[in-house]
Amino acid sequence: DHPEVNPFLEPDKRDKVLKRYGFGKLMAVYKEAKLRLINALLTALQEEPPAVSKKRQITKQSIVS
């Protein structure tokens, strides 16, 4: 139902098309989820006892080498 849009020549039209299909909403949800995941990972790492994180570093190093 939407005409072909050249995203480089017509950014306004492109945005309208994306908005119509809820793409912006999708990206917002995705960004939010990504931020939550990163925060959760950071908190988990901070709350870890030092012995565990040391073990993890050792396994990381052995995987890399």
* Rounded distance between C-alpha atoms, residue 46 and residue 39, angstroms: 11
Burial of 30 (0-12, 13-18, 19+ CB in 10 A): exposed
Q: Residue 35 pLDDT more than 70? A: yes
- Specify if 43 maps to a domain: yes
* Rounded distance between C-alpha atoms, residue 37 and residue 64, angstroms: 24
Domain tally for the chain? 1
Q: Where are the alpha helices (DSSP H) in the chain?
A: 11-20, 23-47, 50-64
Domain, as residue range, for 48? 11-64
The angle, 0 to 180 degrees and rounded to 10, between the axes of the packed helices 11-20 and 23-47 is 80
- Specify if 23 maps to a domain: yes
Rounded to two decimals, the pTM is 0.36
| Higher per-residue confidence, 11 vs 41 | 41
- Specify if 2 maps to a domain: no
| Higher per-residue confidence, 62 vs 37 | 37
pLDDT in tens, 7-34: 566 667 767 766 776 777 778 888 899 9
